[in-house]
Amino acid sequence: MSPFEGLNMLQKSKLFNLLEVHKYKYKKNQEILPTLRHENIFGIILEGSADIISVDYEGNETIMEKLSKESLFNTYMNLINFEDYEIISKEDNTEVLIINYNILLRQDNSKHVYYNIFMNNLFNIINDNFRKMNEKVRILEKKTIRDRLLEFFEIEYKKTYRKIIELPFNLKDLADYIAVNRSAMFRELRNLKEERFITVKGKKITLLYKSNNFI
Amino acid sequence: MSPFEGLNMLQKSKLFNLLEVHKYKYKKNQEILPTLRHENIFGIILEGSADIISVDYEGNETIMEKLSKESLFNTYMNLINFEDYEIISKEDNTEVLIINYNILLRQDNSKHVYYNIFMNNLFNIINDNFRKMNEKVRILEKKTIRDRLLEFFEIEYKKTYRKIIELPFNLKDLADYIAVNRSAMFRELRNLKEERFITVKGKKITLLYKSNNFI
DNA sequence: TTATGAAAGTTGCAATTGCAACTTGTAAAT
DNA sequence: ATTTACAAGTTGCAATTGCAACTTTCATAA
């Protein structure tokens, strides 16, 4: 889902003009926007890629999100927590577009068709991110590893209604995603296998049980 | 933050007309919208209140969110998970407004000023909800109760930069919020008190330590 | 004033998890 | 064919947590 979907080159350039965007280029492993903290802005990756790195109260760093071409970041205007994140470019020639919210939300922007198309796209992308975040909360609210796994399976199952779930990442990353210890997760996966709840073959997990709400 | 902020009565009624909204009224403890699942819609509480109840893979029910007047629900178009939720009215005369996304996002809506005001409001509200969800994920990703509490304190601290945190709910609800066992949380709070990290007086928690990133 | 209910706070114990330190499997590079 | 690197998988043990069953405190209504 691209924020510029439905816009041709001319409209795109008019949009950038209207929104008084700024573009910045980075080499690999540079921090994006260290000087722009506390500003009321969000960004779009135009080229290259970057990682959002979360720094917790102890200073521990973890990769929160991997940004690729056309990913948005800082869309939730989290002025409060912006200090807790670092965004680091992962390639040379990483280019980002910065948009100011105050300019974005000016009333009279909406007389331009290209602006309205762009806003619809933003709306959809943010909604989609919100849905993903919501899925994650549902999983993390579970107290046991087993419950987190089963909730994850349930959510994935309902995306296709197929009993075979193809993981978008490896098992180690799954452990990170559901925020549990890797070896403890393997232990629990083994239990689920032995109890004939699932089978695991590489990145394919097959559910052998009835989902709660569906057959 | 009201979705109708900046709109007068006339504009509001024009908006409802433009968006072809539907209104529904409920008595206490009725399920809102059981028949409209799988539809591409979201809702706004106009009067009264309701609870969003999450049903997990085992059938366990927990209150996910409390909706009051002018709260939005289903904004993330979670067609996939809609079956996992029930929305139950909590008062007689609870009235909800239902808006269809396809109608909401029609291109030519934006020639109306009241529509643009409404969309800006939606944008802000959704962003705000996103920020809250993000805060919650940051907390739930922590493995220990102590780390969850300290992350929570850090987040709350940065909203005001005051060492005294006034909880918006009681300690029991805090345990629910950070998704840990209540008595285990009390045990950890006691440890933090004994180690002179915090003091607790009712709903006021005072931080006695230096925050990581700030003094 | 007393009763009532709910939140606050405590404790012992069993279950679950994190952690560390392994081995095994596998795919790609030399 | 052998090395290298990393994911997959295992295990024992200590630490943390959930759970249940309490007591205490406090506010509110009878």
> pLDDT by residue (tens digit) across B28-47?
888 887 655 656 788 999 99
User: Which helix or strand (DSSP H or E) is residue B96 part of?
Assistant: strand B94-100
Of B214 and A73, the structure prediction assigns the larger pLDDT to A73
Interchain CB distance below 8 Å, A117 and B107: yes
When pLDDT is cut at 50, 70 and 90, the band that residue A92 belongs to is: confident
The size of the A-B interface in CB pairs under 8 A is: 157
Nearest CA-CA distance, residue A24 and chain B, Å: 24
- Higher-confidence residue of A179 and A66: namely A179
- What stretches of chain B show up as alpha helix (H) in DSSP? 9-18, 101-104, 113-140, 145-160, 171-177, 182-194
Q: Give the mean pLDDT of A40-69.
A: 79
Q: Percent of chain A beyond pLDDT 90?
A: 46
Do A54 and B138 meet the contact criterion of CB atoms below 8 Å apart?
yes
Query: Tokens at residue A144, please?
Result: 């046991």
Q: Cα–Cα distance between B146 and B149 in angstroms, integer?
A: 5
**CA A179, C1' C19: Å apart?**
15
Average pLDDT over residues A197-210: 89
Rounded Cα gap, residues A142 and A152, in angstroms: 10
Q: Is A58 on the interface with B (CB under 8 A)?
A: yes
Q: CB-CB: which of B113, B134, B153 is closest to A133?
A: B134
Half-sphere exposure of B66 toward its Cβ, with a 13 Å CA cutoff?
Answer: 7
Interacting residues of A202 by C-beta distance below 8 A, sequence separation 6+: none
- Indicate the SS3 state at residue A46: strand
Q: Is B127 on the interface with A (CB under 8 A)?
A: yes
Q: Is B107 on the interface with A (CB under 8 A)?
A: yes
The distance of Cα B13 from the centroid of its chain, to the nearest Å, equals 26
Whole-number pLDDT of residue A213:
45
Cβ partners under 8 Å of residue B75, min gap 6: A127, A130, B42, B122, B125, B126, B129
Chain A interface includes B78 (CB < 8 A): yes
CA to C1' distance (Å), from A148 to D14 = 24
Contact B81/A at CB under 8 A: yes
Q: What's the mean pLDDT in A42-54?
A: 87
**Residues A99-123, mean pLDDT to the nearest whole number:** 88
Q: Does residue A177 carry a pLDDT above 80?
A: yes
Q: How far apart are CA A63 and CA A172, in angstroms?
A: 14
Winning range, highest mean pLDDT, from A3-7, A74-78, A206-210: A3-7
Q: Which of A40, A53, A55, A57 to mutate to test the interface with B (most CBs of B within 10 A)?
A: A57
A140·B142 Cβ contact <8 A: no
By CA distance, what is A105's nearest residue in B? B120
Q: Say which DSSP state A91 is in.
A: S
Average pLDDT, integer, range A154-170: 89
Q: Which of A143, A54, A55, A62 is nearest to B140 (CA)?
A: A143
Average pLDDT estimate for A67-96: 77
Do B151 and B138 contact (CB within 8 A), yes or no?
A: yes
The first and second tokens of residue B114, run together, are 């009241």
Does residue A46 contact residue A98 with C-beta atoms inside 8 Å?
Answer: no
DSSP state of B97: E
Alpha carbon of B205: minimum distance to chain A alpha carbons (Å): 17
Residues A9-29 have a mean pLDDT of 94
Specify the higher pLDDT residue, A39 or A164. A164
Angle at which helices A113-140 and B113-140 cross, to 10°: 30
Distance from CA of B212 to the nearest CA of A (A): 5
Q: How many angstroms separate the first and last alpha carbons of chain B?
A: 32
Give the predicted TM-score (pTM) of the model: 0.88
Contacts of B134 (CB under 8 A, 6+ apart): A76, A78, A81, A133
Q: Which of B117, B131, B138 sits opposite A54 (nearest CB)?
A: B138
Residue A61 clears pLDDT 70, i.e. is over it:
no
Domains in chain B, start-ordered, CATH in brackets? Answer: 9-130 (2.60.120.10), 142-207 (1.10.10.10)
Tens of each residue's pLDDT in chain B, 215 residues = 899 999 999 999 999 999 999 999 998 888 887 655 656 788 999 998 888 877 666 556 677 778 889 999 887 655 445 566 778 888 888 999 999 888 998 878 888 989 989 988 988 888 888 888 888 998 999 999 999 999 999 889 988 889 999 998 899 999 999 999 999 999 999 999 999 999 998 889 999 987 654 43
The answer to whether residues B202 and B191 touch, using CB atoms and an 8 Å cutoff, is no
pLDDT at B144: 95
State residue B27's pLDDT score.
Answer: 87
Q: Is A35 exposed, middle or buried (0-12, 13-18, 19+ CB in 10 A)?
A: exposed
Query: Residue A185 pLDDT > 90, yes or no?
Result: yes
pLDDT at B185: 96
Cβ within 8 Å of residue B50, ≥6 positions away:
B26, B32, B66, B67, B73, B87, B88, B89, B90, B94, B96
Cross-chain Cβ contact A212/B143 below 8 Å: no
Q: Between residues B11 and A169, which one has the greater pLDDT? A: B11
Q: Which nucleotides of C are covered by protein (CB under 7 A)?
A: 7-12, 16-21
Q: Judge whether A78 and B131 are in contact, CB under 8 Å.
A: yes
Closest Cβ opposite residue A154 in set B57, B110, B131: B57
Predicted local confidence at residue A90, as pLDDT: 81
**What per-residue confidence (pLDDT) applies to B79?**
43
The values of phi and psi at residue B104, to 5°, are -55, -40
Helices within B39-164 (DSSP H only): 101-104, 113-140, 145-160
Q: Kindly list the distances between the CA atom of residue A191 and the CA atoms of A143, A186, B41, B168, B214, in Å, as whole numbers in the listed order.
A: 17, 9, 40, 40, 45
Phi and psi (nearest 5°) for A14?
A: -65, -40
